[in-house]
């Protein structure tokens, strides 16, 4: 279970986002939607321990991760969290397999990578360099890289943003299937995908953005 308690995140440019309390239960899938800039990626980054909240706490299975050291949070993320980043974070000059096998440096067992690539229909690209792939193919590699460690928590930031609806729908079905018994939190703007999730959370209602430096409303 992931608990979000009294969280506020302030950035150096003075953008500040307050989050209402939320609980994400183990075994459930959640779809997050909301306007650009309302704080969806920031929430995922705080759950993943990449960003720390300015105020409040994040508690994962009873452990207040927001109080841990960065090193402890990194270790927890590597072992337990599969994060599909909005911008993929793949290494462009390396092949698909190398991008996945690099996780072995962190002691991740990558033996089911080919099966996952097959499930997502990109097995034939396994020896291609990332820079030679289309946006949708990169997206699917990012998904395989996040899932290969069989994580307990899956964070997916617009995992279908670069896919057409049919493939995107397939990917969401696959993600939900793989997430059985785990926690899946996925950001997507496509309301047609809502039916595949246990819960849909409108982040516009869960966040309160204050003004940034330029005086623009954050949300
Ligand atoms: N590293 C950062 N430094 C400064 N401001 C940031 C940083 N990351 C996010 N922000 C600001 O925080 C707010 C929320 O950003 P976030 O990326 O969480 O939005 P989002 O809901 O994911 O939007 P989108 O749908 O466009 O991806 C924005 O105003 C953004 O400019
Ligand atoms: Mg985002």
**For residue 98, what is the enclosing H or E element?**
helix 96-101
Give DSSP secondary structure letters for 159-180.
TTTTS-HHHHHHHHHHHHHHTT
With a CB cutoff of 8 Å and minimum separation 6, the contacts of 27 are 180, 181, 182, 183
> Model-level pTM?
0.91
> What is the C-alpha to C-alpha distance for residues 116 and 154, in angstroms, rounded to an integer?
15
Q: Give the atom of ligand 1 at the shortest distance from the alpha carbon of 51.
A: 1
In the predicted structure, residue 211 carries a pLDDT above the cut 60: no
Which phi and psi angles does 201 have, rounded to 5°?
Answer: -115, 125
Confidence of residue 99 (pLDDT cuts 50, 70, 90): very high
Both structure tokens of 186:
């996925």
Q: Which residues neighbour 12 within 8 Å (Cβ) at sequence distance 6 or greater?
A: none
Check residues 170 and 129 and name the one with the higher pLDDT. Answer: 129
Mean of per-residue pLDDT scores for the chain? 92
In a domain, 123, yes or no: yes
Q: 219 in a domain, yes or no? A: no
Domain membership flag for residue 216:
no
Does 40 contact ligand 1 (Cβ within 6 A)? Answer: yes
Please give the share of the chain, as a percent, with pLDDT higher than 70.
95
| pLDDT single digits (tens) 45-89 | 999 999 999 999 999 999 999 999 999 999 999 989 999 998 899
Query: What are the angstrom distances between the C-alpha of 153 and each of 1, 24, 49, 175?
Result: 9, 10, 12, 11
Instruction: Provide the CATH number for the domain around residue 113.
Output: 3.40.50.300
- E strand or H helix at 41: helix 40-47
Task: Identify the pLDDT of residue 210.
Answer: 59
Q: Is residue 215 part of a domain?
A: no
* Nearest atom, ligand 1, residue 38 CA: 21
Domain membership flag for residue 214: no
Atom of ligand 1 nearest to the CA of 35: 25
CB count in 10 Å sphere of residue 118 = 14
Statement: residue 214 has pLDDT above 70: no
Taking only the tens place, the pLDDT of each residue in 30-44 is 999 999 999 999 999
Task: For residue 78, tell me if it sits in a domain.
Answer: yes
The residue whose CA has the least distance to atom 8 of ligand 1 is 42
* Ligand 1 pocket: which of 8, 42, 206 to mutate (most atoms within 8 A of CB): 42
161 touches ligand 1 (CB under 6 Å) = no
- 33 alpha carbon – ligand 1 mean position (Å): 14
The ligand placed nearest to the CA atom of residue 14 is: 1
Q: Residue 36 domain-assigned?
A: yes
Q: Can you name the residues that pair with 200 across neighbouring β-strands?
A: 31
Ligand 1 within 6 A of CB of 207: no
| Domain extent for 61 | 2-209
Q: Which of 14, 37, 202, 204 has the most ligand 1 atoms within 8 A of CB, as the residue to mutate?
A: 37
Please give the distance, rounded to the nearest whole angstrom, from the Cα atom of residue 124 to the centre of ligand 2.
Answer: 30
Query: Residue 138 CA to chain centroid, in angstroms?
Result: 15
Distance, CA 67 to ligand 2 centroid (Å)?
24
As for how many domains the chain has, the answer is 1
Q: Is 127 in the pocket of ligand 1 (CB under 6 A)?
A: no
The string of pLDDT tens digits covering residues 138-156 is: 999 999 999 999 999 999 9
Is residue 162's pLDDT more than 90? no
> Does residue 92 sit within a domain?
yes
Question: What is the pLDDT, as a whole number, of residue 164?
Answer: 87
| CB 130 within 8 Å of CB 137 | no
Strands 207-209 and 16-19, bridge-based pairing = antiparallel
The pLDDT value recorded for residue 14 is 77
Q: pLDDT band at residue 215, thresholds of 50, 70 and 90?
A: very low
């Amino acid at each position: 279970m992931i608990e979000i308690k009294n969280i506020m995140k302030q950035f150096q440019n003075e953008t500040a986002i307050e989050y209402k309390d939320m609980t994400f239960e183990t075994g459930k899938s959640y779809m997050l939607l909301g306007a650009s800039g309302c704080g969806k990626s920031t929430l995922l980054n705080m759950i993943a321990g990449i960003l720390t909240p300015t105020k409040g706490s994040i508690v994962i299975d009873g452990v207040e991760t927001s109080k841990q050291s960065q090193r402890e949070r990194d270790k927890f993320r590597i072992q337990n969290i599969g994060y599909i980043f909005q911008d993929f974070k793949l290494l462009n000059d390396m092949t698909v397999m190398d991008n996945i096998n690099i996780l072995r440096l962190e002691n991740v067992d990558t033996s089911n990578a080919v099966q996952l690539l097959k499930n997502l229909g990109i097995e034939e690209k396994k020896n291609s360099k990332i820079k030679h792939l289309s946006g949708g193919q990169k997206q699917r590699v990012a998904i395989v890289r996040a899932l290969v460690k069989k994580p307990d928590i899956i964070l997916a930031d617009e995992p279908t943003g670069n896919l057409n609806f049919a493939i995107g729908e397939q990917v969401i079905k696959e993600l939900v299937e793989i997430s059985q018994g785990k926690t899946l939190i996925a950001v997507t703007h496509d309301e047609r995908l809502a039916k595949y999730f246990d819960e849909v959370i409108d982040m516009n209602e869960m966040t309160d953005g204050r003004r940034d430096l330029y005086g623009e409303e954050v949300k």
